């Protein structure tokens, strides 16, 4: 009885190894490995393991093992900041991250349990529903945790198939790759068990979506340039900033910008130009610092340019500060301000219901509410501050309000020379594709780059170096992608399909349940 009970809860060790194999293959698809093509078949071992178990609880444990291993294998870099800057012992830092990965792993576990339930009810045909269930689980992670870092679709940021995001966002790309794994396994399963060949529906889906994209693809930019941007990557250190060092680094950033301005061609000098400084540990406070206001005024009026920089700005309503992007125009006056809407949970703000019970790690900021745009010549720019590049909703709203280009201001310096640099870049790639707008990524330590509307990463600056880049943009034609218009429609569709199928499994039926392997 004890042995029987054990195997009703825990999976067999052979299936546990298959789940770990699937996690390893999926880890290889993400930075720093970036073997994006392994995502095409990474989930096949997990599908096999779940079918071999066919019970909800052992399958739940398989999915939990898979998810925990995958998230730990791709997000271990979260230990860098507590170890290097907070003095946390490495063993404790890794233990804390492991606990966080255990929590994130509950969502693949939910997927595995639902799939097992569907297999009991519908047999191997349930694999046709597996991609819908997977997207539902990723969408649930987004809503319940506030982020969807390293959804499977993000593994394709530097591959050839990112353009599907223009239709349904990153989760549509997740669907396609899970579909290929599931449908390939299903086709092989049908052939091996019954000697009948079933074409891979995943490949069919890929071809159909590719044809749709070929029709929908078009450039949003006119031929004429509307504005110039000078991106400054200052490589500001994450610690050791006293007042003298702060002023030295400030002067160094403005000197780098001045050098780039001096190198502009006579033609480019005729265009409106904006200098962009990244988010960094410098902690500008434009509203409260009269000396800095004068410093900025002197720079912008002397060069007839606008300056966009990160600043802590007061919120009279809460008494807190906003994490803001402030633009000062060529006349030395403040012309626009965007206040960060999506704050980093527990880093910049403590979410409900924990608010008041513990402090935020970086600071307790106020939440912004308005999707303010920045004037850049004849065009308009939306702004994303660091973690916000993870949210497709932000880019959607900015484009709906008229953004022709999106500027991302980021600092990943606290996390060291780790895979986070490329993983964070992958987020920005999807925001460019989803909105069909270029993303100008301006960072403190890297990766500063120009990302085209089709997701190409151009003119990237080496990480942890001082660099400047000069880019030009054009005013868009105002067109909006299907994703901009309708948002996460596909994720909601997958959620509805999953719920409907689950309800069907609880319906009584006259015949006996589908036998295992049918």
pLDDT tens by residue, 109-145:
999 999 999 998 888 888 889 999 999 999 999 998 8
Does a cis peptide bond (omega within 30 degrees of 0) precede residue 410? no
Q: Which residues contact 446 (CB under 8 A, 6 or more apart)?
A: 233, 412, 421, 460, 461, 462, 463, 464, 465
Residue bearing the bigger pLDDT, 189 or 510 = 189
Indicate the DSSP class of residue 161.
-
Task: Kindly state the helix (H) or strand (E) to which residue 339 belongs, with its residue range.
Answer: strand 334-339
Same domain, 421 and 463: yes
Same domain, 422 and 495: no
**What CATH number should be reported for the domain holding residue 304?**
3.60.110.10
Report if residue 516 sits inside a domain. Answer: no
> What string of DSSP letters covers 221-276?
B-SS--EEEEEEE----SS---HHHHHHHHHHHHHHHHHHHHT--HHHHTS-EEEE
Mean pLDDT of 487-510: 87
Report if residue 47 sits inside a domain. Answer: yes
Report if residue 518 sits inside a domain. Answer: no
Same domain, 173 and 301: no
> What string of DSSP letters covers 464-486?
TS-EEEEEEE--B-----HHHHH
Q: How far is CA 425 from CA 52, 419, 422, 499, in A?
A: 38, 10, 5, 34
Same domain, 129 and 274: no
CA 333 to CA 371: how far, in whole Å?
A: 21
Same domain, 248 and 209: no
Average pLDDT value over all residues in the chain: 86
210 pLDDT band, cuts 50/70/90, is low
Q: Which residues contact 149 (CB under 8 A, 6 or more apart)?
A: 75, 390, 423
Cβ contact 256:405 at 8 Å: no
Same domain, 189 and 283: no
Identify which of 131, 182, 129, 176 has the alpha carbon closest to the alpha carbon of residue 156. 176
CB atoms within 10 A of CB 65: 26
Same domain, 34 and 141: yes
pLDDT at 244: 84
pLDDT tens by residue, 351-363:
655 555 455 555 6
pLDDT for residue 515 is more than 80: no
Same domain, 133 and 250: no
Report if residue 513 sits inside a domain. Answer: no
Indicate the DSSP class of residue 512.
P
Cβ contact 444:240 at 8 Å: no
> What string of DSSP letters covers 53-114?
H-SHHHHHHHHHHHHHHHHHHHHGGGGHHHHHHS---HHHHHHHHHHHHHHHTHHHHHHHHH
Residue bearing the bigger pLDDT, 420 or 350 = 420
pLDDT for residue 514 is more than 70: no
CA 27 to CA 69: how far, in whole Å?
A: 9
pLDDT at 227: 87
207 pLDDT band, cuts 50/70/90, is low
Same domain, 374 and 231: yes
Burial 201-212 (b: 16+ CB within 10 A, else e): bbbebbeebeee
pLDDT at 516: 40
Share of the chain above pLDDT 90, in %: 56
pLDDT at 216: 54
pLDDT tens by residue, 33-87:
999 989 988 999 999 999 888 888 999 999 999 999 999 999 999 999 888 887 8
Q: How many structural domains are present in the chain?
A: 2
Same domain, 106 and 126: yes
pLDDT tens by residue, 3-22:
444 446 888 889 999 999 99
Residue bearing the bigger pLDDT, 238 or 64 = 64
* Adjacency order of strands within the sheet including 457-458: 374-376, 379-385, 405-410, 439-443, 449-451, 457-458
Domain with 438 in it: 227-478
CB atoms within 10 A of CB 255: 11
Same domain, 306 and 443: yes
Beta bridge partners of 66: none
Beta bridge partners of 349: 345
Same domain, 6 and 142: yes
């Amino acid at each position: 009885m004890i042995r029987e009970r054990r195997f009703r809860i825990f999976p067999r060790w052979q299936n546990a190894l298959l789940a770990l194999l699937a996690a390893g293959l999926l880890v290889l698809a993400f930075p720093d490995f970036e073997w994006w093509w392994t995502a095409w078949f990474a989930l096949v071992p997990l599908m096999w393991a779940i079918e071999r178990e066919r019970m909800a609880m052992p399958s739940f444990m398989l999915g939990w093992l898979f998810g925990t291993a995958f998230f730990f294998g791709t997000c271990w870099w979260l230990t860098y900041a507590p170890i290097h800057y907070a003095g946390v012992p490495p063993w404790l830092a890794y233990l804390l991250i492991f606990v966080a990965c255990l929590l994130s792993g509950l969502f693949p576990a939910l997927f595995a349990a639902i799939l097992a339930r569907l297999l009991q009810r519908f047999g191997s045909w349930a694999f046709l529903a597996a991609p819908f269930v997977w997207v539902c689980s990723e969408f649930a992670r987004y809503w319940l945790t506030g982020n969807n870092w390293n959804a499977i679709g993000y593994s394709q940021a530097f591959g050839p198939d990112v353009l599907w995001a223009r239709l349904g966002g990153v989760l549509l790309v997740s669907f396609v790759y899970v579909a290929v794994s599931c449908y390939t396994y299903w086709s092989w399963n049908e052939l091996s068990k019954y000697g009948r060949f079933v074409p891979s529906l995943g490949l069919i889906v890929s071809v159909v979506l590719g044809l749709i994209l070929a029709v929908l693809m078009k450039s949003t930019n006119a031929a004429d340039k509307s504005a110039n941007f000078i991106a400054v990557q200052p490589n500001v250190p994450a610690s050791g900033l006293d007042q003298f060092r702060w002023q030295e680094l400030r002067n160094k950033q403005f000197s780098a910008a001045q050098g780039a301005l001096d190198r502009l061609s006579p033609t480019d000098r005729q265009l409106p130009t904006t200098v962009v400084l990244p988010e960094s540990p410098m902690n500008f406070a434009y509203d409260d610092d009269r000396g800095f206001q004068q410093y900025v005024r002197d720079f912008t009026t002397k060069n007839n340019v606008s300056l966009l920089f990160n600043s802590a700005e007061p919120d009279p309503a809460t008494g807190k500060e906003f994490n803001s992007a402030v633009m000062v125009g060529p006349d030395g006056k403040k012309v626009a301000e965007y206040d960060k809407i999506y704050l980093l949970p527990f880093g910049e703000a403590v979410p409900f219901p924990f608010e008041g019970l513990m402090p935020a790690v970086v600071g307790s900021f106020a939440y912004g509410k308005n999707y303010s745009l920045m004037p850049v010549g004849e065009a308009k720019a939306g702004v994303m501050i660091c973690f916000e590049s993870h949210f497709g909703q932000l880019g959607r709203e900015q484009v709906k309000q008229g953004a022709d280009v999106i500027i991302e201001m980021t600092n990943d310096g606290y996390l060291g020379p780790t895979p986070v640099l490329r993983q964070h870049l992958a987020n920005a790639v999807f925001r460019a594709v989803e909105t069909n707008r270029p993303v100008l990524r301006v960072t403190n330590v890297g990766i500063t780059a120009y990302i085209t509307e089709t997701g190409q990463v151009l003119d990237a600056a080496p990480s942890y170096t001082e660099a400047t880049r000069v880019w030009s943009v054009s005013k868009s034609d105002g067109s909006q992608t299907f994703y901009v218009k309708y948002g996460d429609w596909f994720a909601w569709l997958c959620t509805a399909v999953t719920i409907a199928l689950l309800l069907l499994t609880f319906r009584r039926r006259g015949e006996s349940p589908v036998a295992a392997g049918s």
